[in-house]
Homo-oligomer: A and B are copies of this chain.
Amino acid sequence: MKLAESVLSGNRLALSRLITQVENNTPEGLEALGSLFANTGRAHLIGVTGAPGTGKSSLVNRLARHYRQVQAGRKDTSVAIIAVDPSSPFSGGALLGDRIRMRDLSGDPNVFIRSMASRGSLGGLARSTSGVVQALDAAGYDIILIETVGAGQAEVDIARLAHTTLVVEAPGLGDDIQAIKAGILEIADILVINKADRPGVENTERALRSMLDLSYPVRRSFRGGNLEKVKAKDESIWQVPIQRTVATEGTGIQELSELISRHKAYLVETNEWERRDQERLESELENLIRLTLMRRFRSTVEDDRYREIVSRLISRSISPHQAVAELLGGLNRGNGDHPV
């Protein structure tokens, strides 16, 4: 309780400690997160993703500075940045560079920066990122920028976490890279062409635009986990805009922040904000149920018995389904009691 109260009172050190607890999945951290939960749901979660070399980190840096400067005169906007590294041995260097670049933000008491690395499983990373976001949300940060290094499932999971997902591209990448990133395009709410002062920016924009047109009917498929075709060019559907930026010089940052605000307004007007929030909470609940059930199962089955059944499986005396039947009791075949 003490920890949760300190976080609510704005104590940065307490927040850092809570985040470490959440990352380590301690009972204290979970308890504090539970009592802070009522204070969550207010922050605008913005995911920023894209291939290495597109300048994501500079963009995040600039956006954070923009939010701090622009709003300074009116209401003060606090910003948190989470840099998530899904544990590729190659990205360590890049992440370090990003942290150095972010130094000019870290003196600001209304900016909180945290790097997170995966410790083993990607699923675990998504889970602890969700906990860290909750902690920052409860601590009152208005905007939480979630930057992911790497490609693939991690991006999709993080897009599920965010209200608004920016996918960052850059000119000068060949046809092949356009293709590989097709999967990432599907999760974009806003496309950013960073390094837009480089040659080839027109080609990049043209390619992205044609891919957007191509993908329209099924683009929002990832949101619900299922393929859900929507009417192409439906007026009530968000039309993914493309924004050029040169993050290192601040070009296009103002326009980008306006698009982000417009996306937030769209989410609120169409009740998408609420829907995404609900979806996120439900999927988090489901994950927790799954983990709890597995943990309980492991505590009820003796190790020796489990090893014995596994060795019969490995010797192919029993099939995987027969092994499950022995461990969990009979599966009633034929009455639909099979994995779906």
Give the contacting residue for A34; candidates B181, B226, B319; CB below 8 A. Answer: B319
Query: Shortest Cβ distance from A310 into chain B, in angstroms?
Result: 6
A96 at interface, CB cutoff 8 A: no
- Measured in the bound complex, the distance between the Cα atoms of B26 and A179 in whole Å is 35
- Measured in the bound complex, the distance between the Cα atoms of B19 and A79 in whole Å is 51
Chain B residues, CB < 8 A from A89: 182, 186, 214-215, 217-219, 221
Query: How many residues of chain A get a CB closer than 8 Å to chain B's CBs?
Result: 96
- Measured in the bound complex, the distance between the Cα atoms of B180 and A53 in whole Å is 9
A10 at interface, CB cutoff 8 A: no
Q: Are B288 and A30 in contact (CB under 8 A)?
A: no
- Measured in the bound complex, the distance between the Cα atoms of B40 and A318 in whole Å is 12
Query: Shortest Cβ distance from A21 into chain B, in angstroms?
Result: 11
A254 at interface, CB cutoff 8 A: no
- Measured in the bound complex, the distance between the Cα atoms of B246 and A93 in whole Å is 34
A2 at interface, CB cutoff 8 A: no
Q: Are A316 and B211 in contact (CB under 8 A)?
A: no
Give the contacting residue for A314; candidates B214, B281, B337, B340; CB below 8 A. Answer: B281
Q: Which residue among A54, A155, A176, A313 has the maximum number of chain B CB atoms within 10 Å of its CB? A: A176
Q: Are A183 and B152 in contact (CB under 8 A)?
A: yes
Chain B residues, CB < 8 A from A227: 87, 119-120
- Measured in the bound complex, the distance between the Cα atoms of B314 and A89 in whole Å is 38
Chain B residues, CB < 8 A from A87: 227
Which residues of A23-71 are within 8 A (CB) of B?
Answer: 25-27, 30-31, 33-35, 37-38, 40-41, 51-54
Give the contacting residue for A33; candidates B172, B182, B319; CB below 8 A. Answer: B319
Q: Are A150 and B289 in contact (CB under 8 A)?
A: no
Q: Are A319 and B37 in contact (CB under 8 A)?
A: yes
* A322 closest partner in B (C-beta): B34
What are 18 pairs between A and B in contact, CB < 8 Å?
A27-B336, A27-B338, A34-B319, A89-B182, A89-B186, A89-B214, A90-B183, A150-B183, A170-B176, A176-B177, A180-B181, A278-B310, A281-B310, A281-B314, A285-B310, A288-B320, A288-B323, A292-B328
